[in-house]
Amino acid sequence: MKYVLITGGSRGIGAATARLLASRGWGVAVGYHQSEAQAQALAAELSDQGVPALAVRADVADSAQVARMVDNVLENFCQLDILICSAGVSHQGLISQIDENQWRRLFAVNVDGVHHCCRAVLPHMLERKSGSIVTVSSMWGQVGASCEAAYSAAKGAVIAYTKALAKELGPSNIRVNCVAPGVIDTEMNGHLTQDDLAALADETPLGRIGTPREAAAAIAFLASDEASFLTGQVVAPNGGLVV
């Protein structure tokens, strides 16, 4: 059996990934920060399916909290095969309107959070000389978006970090890959109006926005042994909007 920790696992893409991997018989630790009720309910749902599951709390921006979260997972599961860094926050607005605290929080969660989680799991993975890490970026991290400069910059950093870490950890048989979703029907895009979503769907070659399950499928593939010769790659489920 494989065991996975999914940060940002209580909602959206993270929750869809938890359900998908649990359906394949993987033990799942659902990482969350504020959505305790949702995380506990999801862990109970997965346990009812007969797989080991638990909810673990941490603000990924805080390295000490992340270390405790990973220790908790290892105490319960005894091993950790996969890390999926799905926790993230967004911001939309002119760059002149974002204040320093908002900028810092975007990078603290989206970039520092990935680093803290990787650092915390690596001693275990290095000891076993085995592991798979999947980060979650965004298509805007690949090409940038107007009125989302800070978010684009943070998600671009995640891609660069992923590629560099893959080169560093490859000799230890640890793979590091990234999923960069397009417009996905999640709470993070809840600020978009129906007209906004319709316009984005029209711009997308496939003519629609994506589902959390479709993004989860890309994450699950990269996490699995089926992607055993893939590392340092960016897979972009975006319906063809960014190529």
pLDDT digit string, tens, across residues 6-47? 999 999 999 999 999 999 999 999 999 999 999 999 999 999
Residues 6+ apart with CB under 8 A from 236: 139, 142, 179, 180, 181, 182, 242
What was the pLDDT predicted at 135?
98
Encoded tokens for 208: 């629609």
The pTM for the full model equals 0.96
Closest CA to 180 of 146, 151, 147, 149: 151
User: Mean per-residue pLDDT for 150-170?
Assistant: 98
Q: Which amino acid is at 197?
A: L
- Taking only the tens place, the pLDDT of each residue in 67-86 is 999 999 999 999 999 999 99
Residues 6+ apart with CB under 8 A from 44: 53
Using the predicted structure, report yes or no on whether residue 154 has a pLDDT greater than 70: yes
Given CA atoms 201, 205, 210, 215 in this order, what sign does their dihedral have?
A: negative
Residues 6+ apart with CB under 8 A from 68: 58
- Taking only the tens place, the pLDDT of each residue in 177-200 is 999 999 999 877 766 778 888 998
What is the rounded distance in angstroms from the CA atom of residue 198 to the CA atom of residue 189?
A: 13
- Taking only the tens place, the pLDDT of each residue in 114-140 is 999 999 999 999 999 999 999 999 999
**Is 242:142 a contact under the CB 8 Å cutoff?**
yes
Q: Catalytic residue positions?
A: 151
- Taking only the tens place, the pLDDT of each residue in 45-74 is 999 999 999 999 999 999 999 999 999 999
Mean pLDDT across the chain, nearest whole number? 96
Three-state SS for 84? Answer: strand
Give the chain's domains with CATH numbers.
Answer: 3-235 (3.40.50.720)
What is the rounded distance in angstroms from the CA atom of residue 211 to the CA atom of residue 234?
A: 19
Three-state SS for 135? Answer: strand
CB neighbour burial string for 78-95, b if at least 16 within 10 angstroms, e if fewer:
eebbbbbbbbbbbbeeee
What was the pLDDT predicted at 190?
65
One-character DSSP codes across 17-32: HHHHHHHTT-EEEEEE
- Taking only the tens place, the pLDDT of each residue in 90-114 is 988 999 999 999 999 999 999 999 9
What was the pLDDT predicted at 140?
97
What was the pLDDT predicted at 196?
83
What was the pLDDT predicted at 213?
98
What was the pLDDT predicted at 192?
73
% of the chain surpassing 70 pLDDT: 99
Other residues' Cβ atoms within 10 Å of the Cβ of residue 209: 21
pLDDT grade, residue 235 (50/70/90)?
A: very high
